[in-house]
């Protein structure tokens, strides 16, 4: 389904919703099987109804941080709803492959999905801004933009043509820069490199002369070990240790200039979401905010132990990208962003909002968080 087809589908849905609103004026007894009208009947009438949903994910079942983050979201929804909304979580490939969950939820194969927006750049390149931007916002800034800077409204507009309601449901904070089997001493060392790196960061690698590929997390280790790819980034020490990436690459570079605070998402089929009574809608929205924060805090709590293990037990060579490599990547990142926003007025609108917010939060953080981290 492309963007135009999605828009047509959405227009049909809007028309059906309009009918649903009209139908709600009949007696509840005569139309309580009408899914659209449920949103318009009172909370009390729905409050004991039980909903059983499926959540499809781009992660291996129960993968630390990401897969367990999806399970955590389902669990707190169940607890807060007193068992009225039960969500069964499926790993990548259990119902649909990792990169088909967006279409699957749009098509109502499942009610909910858990992934990250840059996986859907084939639908619309602008969606990548809702994951992360190279040299862009940190996790706290990204969340502040989404909840207090207009970002969430833009994201909702971006997913609306597909009949999906997006929510932020996790964040990695600043990632690591990736696993390599050679030193990166200049940008030339990236030429010819076939590397797993998604989103805008991947396009930066392409401009630097490399070949970005996207591989689901669960296939990463084998791809790297078999030489299908030369290098990869994933998340950070806690997650990268779990995949055993240190067995297939020697150098581990920091920091993740390409993913400084990546938002993980859950999205809900709009019709399914509208069928929930208002209290359950509020529970889903707030649970996603708890899950969003919780995943990031789990990384804060776990990454250093994993890093120590990688260095001391697995002899990983941790390096920092040289300053001139960073400068060149910064220039290429600006080009990549310019290409995306030049192609589409909505992409320009999203980026203007993103960049305007970032300029202010950066100025404040230079005086507060950054100044403090440098002096403590």
Residues of this chain, 227-266, that bind a copy of itself according to CB under 8 A: 236-237, 254-257, 260
**What DSSP line would sit under 72-118, residue for residue?**
HHHHHHHHHTTTSEEEEEE-TTTSS-GGGHHHHHHTTSSSEEEE-GG
Cα–Cα distance for residue pair 68/49, rounded to 1 Å: 27
Nearer to a copy of itself, 56 or 332 (CB): 332
293 binds a copy of itself (CB under 8 A): yes
**What DSSP line would sit under 304-366, residue for residue?**
HHHHHHHHHTT--EEEE--HHHHHHHHHHHHHHHHHHHHT-HHHHHHHHHHHHHHHHHHHHHH
Taking CB under 8 A as the criterion, the residue among 224, 287, 336, 337 binding a copy of itself is: 287
289 binds a copy of itself (CB under 8 A): yes
Taking CB under 8 A as the criterion, the residue among 5, 21, 45, 364 binding a copy of itself is: 364
Nearer to a copy of itself, 140 or 156 (CB): 140
Nearer to a copy of itself, 60 or 277 (CB): 277
Build a one-symbol-per-residue string for 69-88: x at contacts with a copy of itself by CB under 8 A, - elsewhere. -------x--xxxxx-----
Cα–Cα distance for residue pair 77/285, rounded to 1 Å: 10
41 binds a copy of itself (CB under 8 A): no
317 binds a copy of itself (CB under 8 A): no
Choices 157-165, 178-186, 293-301, 337-345; region in contact with a copy of itself by CB under 8 A: 293-301
Nearer to a copy of itself, 91 or 261 (CB): 261
Nearer to a copy of itself, 108 or 320 (CB): 320
Cα–Cα distance for residue pair 214/193, rounded to 1 Å: 14
Nearer to a copy of itself, 188 or 320 (CB): 320
Cα–Cα distance for residue pair 209/219, rounded to 1 Å: 24
Taking CB under 8 A as the criterion, the residue among 303, 328, 337, 351 binding a copy of itself is: 303
Taking CB under 8 A as the criterion, the residue among 326, 339, 349, 353 binding a copy of itself is: 326
Environment class of residue 179 by beta-carbon count within 10 Å: exposed (0-12), middle (13-18) or buried (19+)? buried
Q: Tell me how far the alpha carbon of residue 280 is from its chain's centroid.
A: 23
CA distances (Å), origin 163, targets 14, 108, 190 = 10, 10, 39
Taking CB under 8 A as the criterion, the residue among 37, 144, 206, 314 binding a copy of itself is: 144
Show contacts with a copy of itself in window 165-224 (CB under 8 A): 173-176
Smallest gap from residue 298 Cβ to a copy of itself (A): 6
Sorted by sequence, the CB contacts under 8 Å of residue 361 that are 6+ apart come out as 137, 141, 144, 145
370 binds a copy of itself (CB under 8 A): yes
Nearer to a copy of itself, 128 or 143 (CB): 143
145 binds a copy of itself (CB under 8 A): yes
Cα–Cα distance for residue pair 249/315, rounded to 1 Å: 11
Taking CB under 8 A as the criterion, the residue among 10, 17, 40, 140 binding a copy of itself is: 140
Q: Tell me how far the alpha carbon of residue 230 is from its chain's centroid.
A: 24
Nearer to a copy of itself, 77 or 229 (CB): 77
Nearer to a copy of itself, 101 or 358 (CB): 358
Taking CB under 8 A as the criterion, the residue among 7, 8, 50, 368 binding a copy of itself is: 368
Sorted by sequence, the CB contacts under 8 Å of residue 199 that are 6+ apart come out as 118, 121, 128, 131, 132, 258, 259
Smallest gap from residue 361 Cβ to a copy of itself (A): 6
Phi then psi for residue 135, to 5 deg, are 65, 20
Asked if 177 contacts 259 with a C-beta cutoff of 8 angstroms, the reply is: no
Partners of 211 in the beta sheet? 194
Choices 32-40, 131-139, 203-211, 239-247; region in contact with a copy of itself by CB under 8 A: 131-139
Token pair of 10 as six digits: 């959405």
Choices 3-11, 19-27, 124-132, 320-328; region in contact with a copy of itself by CB under 8 A: 320-328
Helix, strand, coil percentages (3-state) for the chain, rounded to 5, are 55, 15, 30
């Amino acid at each position: 389904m492309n963007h135009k087809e999605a828009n047509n589908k959405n227009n049909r849905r809007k028309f059906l919703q309009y009918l649903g609103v009209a139908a709600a004026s009949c007696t509840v007894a005569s139309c309580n099987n009408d899914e659209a009208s449920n949103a318009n009947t009172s909370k009390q009438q729905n409050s004991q109804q039980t909903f059983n949903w499926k959540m499809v994910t781009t992660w291996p079942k129960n993968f630390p941080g990401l897969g367990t983050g999806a399970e955590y979201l389902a669990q707190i929804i169940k607890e807060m709803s007193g068992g009225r909304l039960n969500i069964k979580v499926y790993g990548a490939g259990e119902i649909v492959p990792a990169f088909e969950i967006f279409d699957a939820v749009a098509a109502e194969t499942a009610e909910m999905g858990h992934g990250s927006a840059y996986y859907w750049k084939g639908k619309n390149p602008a969606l990548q801004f809702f994951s992360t931007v190279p040299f862009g916002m940190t996790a706290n800034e990204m969340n502040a933009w989404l909840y207090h800077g207009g970002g969430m409204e833009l994201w909702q507009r971006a997913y609306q043509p597909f009949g999906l309601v997006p929510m932020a449901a996790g964040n990695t904070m600043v990632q690591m820069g990736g696993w390599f089997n050679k030193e990166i001493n200049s940008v030339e060392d990236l030429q010819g490199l076939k590397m797993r790196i998604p989103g805008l960061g991947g396009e930066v690698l392409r401009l630097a002369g490399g070949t970005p590929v996207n591989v689901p997390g669960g296939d990463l280790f084998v791809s790297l070990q078999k030489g299908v790819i030369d290098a990869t980034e994933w998340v950070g020490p806690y997650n990268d240790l779990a995949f055993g990436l240190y067995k297939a690459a020697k150098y581990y570079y920091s920091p993740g200039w390409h993913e400084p605070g990546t938002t993980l998402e859950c999205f809900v089929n709009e019709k399914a979401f509208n069928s929930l009574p208002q209290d359950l809608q509020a529970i889903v929205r707030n649970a996603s905010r708890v899950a969003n924060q919780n995943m990031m805090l789990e990384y804060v709590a776990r990454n250093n132990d994993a890093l120590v293990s990688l260095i001391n037990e697995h002899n990983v060579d941790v390096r920092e990208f040289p300053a001139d490599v960073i400068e060149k990547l910064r220039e290429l990142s600006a080009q990549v962003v310019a290409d995306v926003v030049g192609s589409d007025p909505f992409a320009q609108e999203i980026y203007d909002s993103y960049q305007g917010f970032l300029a202010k939060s950066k100025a404040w953080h230079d005086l507060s968080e950054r100044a403090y981290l440098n002096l403590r």
